[in-house]
Amino acid sequence: MTEYSGEDFLRLDTVSLDELQGLLDATAEMKQTPFRDTLSQRSLGMIFQKRSTRTRVSFEVGMTQLDGHAVFLSQDDIQLGRGETVGDTARSLSGYVDGLMARVYSYDDVEALAEHAGVPVVNGLSDFNHPCQALADTYTLLESFDVLEGLNFTWLGDGNNVCHSLLHALPRFGVDVTVATPPEHMPDSDVVERSRKLADEDGGGGIELTEDAEAAVYDADAVYTDTWVSMGEDGKSEEDFHPYQANTDLLSHAADSHVFMHCLPAHRGKEVTDDVVDGGHSVVWRQAENRLHAQKALLEQLLA
């Protein structure tokens, strides 16, 4: 099994396909054997500039289950929140902890943390991407279908941070990704271009962009949506997004065996209806749980 060789975990497009596969294999093993002492005496500092339920708890509990310890550092409570620089924060914390996980507004901040920290840094979501989410989601898809190659995966709504990380990963495993968004909310063209290039080098999955939600969902094996307004985008209009709502009507065009995915938190009645998120096709709770297993696999490879 190929172990992750990077110093930090900031984005999936710099992780090789073999390393991604290694992390998926390690996630499966971690799910089977969750309690270990591989991170005994190790501490993880967790910096949060934004709120979190799943990321915070899965990293903290994950460290405990590996016999390590996590320290929650809300921006409101540490000097970063009153002007201490990211660099000085990184240098100071590196003297105490063995790794840092950070949820930041700007991707530049997590890069700056990694540049100045003497310990590995994990990106726990930024405006640009959410690599831990996409790693766990790739695992959830594998668990659901056994084989990733040839799956039709449809993203609905906003071409946002989670969408970017999924684009960096899924087509490389041979998954055909269709992204249906309003025209002004497409994923970044740089991400699409880079993901197409990586897919050509690796598993050969395609990436299609469309405004047509119904056509995008047709025969999909997996349909994924996320909030129309991400954290840090307050005031953004939701008006254009309504045709992209994941509801029973729209999802009736997907394959009979499709799974419905959402990174959560869900905004019920907006990007997804109750009957879909609570329905038989939904795997959202398993996605949330798999964050724990995937991140523990990652932490073990980065910190042990």
Instruction: Output DSSP code: residue 301.
Output: H
Position 162 contacts ligand NVA (CB under 6 A): yes
Q: Active-site residue 291, yes or no?
A: yes
Q: Rank residues 128 and 153 by Cβ distance to ligand NVA and give the closer one.
A: 128
Contacts to ligand NVA from residues 109-128, by CB under 6 A = 125
How many CA atoms does the CB half-sphere of 137 hold within 13 Å?
A: 31
Please state, as a whole number, how many other Cβ atoms lie within 10 Å of the Cβ of residue 262: 25
Q: Catalytic residue, from 176, 291, 293, 301: name it.
A: 291
Rounded to an integer, what distance in angstroms lies between the CA atom of residue 6 and that of residue 67? 23
Q: Catalytic residue, from 8, 137, 221, 226: name it.
A: 226
Q: Rank residues 60 and 278 by Cβ distance to ligand CP and give the closer one.
A: 60
Rounded to an integer, what distance in angstroms lies between the CA atom of residue 50 and that of residue 44? 18
Q: Active-site residue 281, yes or no?
A: no
Paired tokens of 135: 């790693």
Q: Active-site residue 82, yes or no?
A: no
Among 230, 267, 270, 286, indicate the residue that binds ligand NVA (CB under 6 A): 230
Position 53 contacts ligand CP (CB under 6 A): yes
230 touches, from ligand CP, ligand NVA, none (C-beta below 5 to 8 Å by class): ligand NVA
Q: Active-site residue 295, yes or no?
A: no
Give the DSSP per-residue string, 122-141. Answer: EE---SS--HHHHHHHHHHH
Residues in the chain: 304
Q: Catalytic residue, from 11, 42, 54, 103: name it.
A: 103
Nearest Cα to 151, choosing from 141, 166, 143? 141
Rounded to an integer, what distance in angstroms lies between the CA atom of residue 79 and that of residue 74? 10
**Does a cis peptide bond (omega within 30 degrees of 0) precede residue 182?**
no
Position 12 contacts ligand NVA (CB under 6 A): no
Among 43, 227, 245, 301, indicate the residue that binds ligand NVA (CB under 6 A): 227
Position 276 contacts ligand NVA (CB under 6 A): no
Q: Rank residues 49 and 133 by Cβ distance to ligand CP and give the closer one.
A: 133
Q: Active-site residue 163, yes or no?
A: no
Identify the three-state secondary structure at position 95. Answer: coil
Under a CB-based contact definition with an 8 Å cutoff, are residues 53 and 104 in contact? no
Among 98, 137, 226, 271, indicate the residue that binds ligand NVA (CB under 6 A): 226
Q: Rank residues 43 and 287 by Cβ distance to ligand NVA and give the closer one.
A: 287
Q: Active-site residue 263, yes or no?
A: yes
Under a CB-based contact definition with an 8 Å cutoff, are residues 144 and 228 in contact? no
Q: Rank residues 54 and 116 by Cβ distance to ligand CP and give the closer one.
A: 54
Task: Provide the edge-to-edge strand list for the sheet that holds 176-180.
Answer: 207-210, 176-180, 152-156, 222-225, 259-262
In the complex, the residues that contact ligand CP under the rule CB under 6 A are 52-55, 125, 133, 263-265
In the complex, the residues that contact ligand NVA under the rule CB under 6 A are 125, 160-162, 226-227, 230-231, 263
* Catalytic site positions: 103, 130, 133, 226, 263, 291
